Amino acid sequence: MKTRFTTKQTTMTKITAAITAVGKYIPEYALTNKELETMVDTNDEWITTRTGIKERRILKGEGLGTSFMAIKAAEDLLKKSNTKPEDIDVVIVATATPDMPVASTAAYTASKIGAVNAFSYDLQAACSSFLYGMSTASSYIESGRYKKVLLIGADKMSSIIDYTDRATCIIFGDGAGAALFEPNTDGLGLQDEYLRSDGIGREFLKIDAGGSILPPSEDTIKNKQHFVHQEGRTVFKFAVSNMADVSEKMLTRNNLTKEDIQWLVPHQANKRIIEATANRVGLEDDKVMMNIHKYGNTTSATLPLLLNDYEKELKKGDNLIFAAFGGGFTWGAIYLKWAYNS
């Protein structure tokens, strides 16, 4: 007598992580180039020519930190998408300017928006923080263990800028943007990533004091060592080459041509860096997201602010290439298919 065994063959559907909603917050106060002329030795033409920036937003108000903007951006997203905060599984705040050391800005943000069932933490990779956060959020979704991951990029750069230093005060601004990641089985969402870092950058873009090497003291305050220091030419050189390289690599290893790309979503550090990256992959201006003229460099918030500003122009299935470069050095690129029509 023969025994027949039957087996059921199950087909596993690949889960990808798609952005399903976005939100933003920018402070009301606009610091214009004209106003900066009264603060440091500079002028509107000089700033515009070298950076592309016309104004940047500054968060005013006693006791208002990065979490204030992160909460506002998250609330905007929740309202627009009719998402219940208690349904969120994870909250990540990408930031270089947390409210305070040790205490998590993300934990506070999650509690204030009502994400009572989420675990949360901060992610810091300077201007690449949101890009790295996209990779992290997507990994949680792809694992199948989590359904809704809220990623917020927020920075109050005005809190670490010396407004007598022309090299930095013309560049940075404050703001926040948020994106919700959810599972997708239609092939939309994050497709590929290439993330890099190199500790050589430590000397060229940094804050000397306030960490474990050089704790705060009367001398560090007197010497202005709690403000951002940047060697502009060196950072510019590294940013131009590396952002362009990883963007080109994304196209090459995914067999994409410039005709296949609907949008380049580049970190908003400097207009010339953005243009160099676009030129490397052969994209025309109308395929390059840009808002640096309005906000300056908002560090962790630049990428989600771009998505918010261009949301109405995005179509389901659009191919987006994200690229960023930040202190550390940190940099990388991500290829993502947009998941919805606004």
| CA distance between the termini of the chain | 63
Give the active site residue among 184, 242, 270, 297.
297
- Secondary structure class of 173 (helix, strand, coil): coil
Give the active site residue among 127, 242, 270, 308.
127
Which residues are paired to 334 by β-bridges?
193, 322
Measured between alpha carbons, how far is 208 from 230 in angstroms, rounded to an integer?
11
Give the active site residue among 169, 184, 242, 267.
267
Which residues are paired to 153 by β-bridges?
94, 177
In 3D space, the residue among 114, 129, 273, 136 whose CA is nearest the CA of residue 193 turns out to be: 136
127 is known as an active-site residue: yes
Alpha helices in the chain (DSSP H): 33-36, 44-51, 66-81, 105-113, 129-142, 166-169, 218-222, 232-253, 271-280, 292-295, 302-309
- Secondary structure class of 131 (helix, strand, coil): helix
- Secondary structure class of 58 (helix, strand, coil): strand
Which residues are paired to 190 by β-bridges?
336
**Neighbour count for residue 275 (Cβ, 10 Å):** 17
DSSP state of 214: S
In the Cβ-directed half-sphere of 264, how many Cα atoms lie within 13 Å? 32
Contact 44, 34 (CB under 8 A): yes
Phi and psi at residue 307, in whole multiples of 5°?
-60, -40
**Neighbour count for residue 2 (Cβ, 10 Å):** 3
Query: How many residues are given for the chain?
Result: 342
Catalytic residue numbers read 127, 267, 297
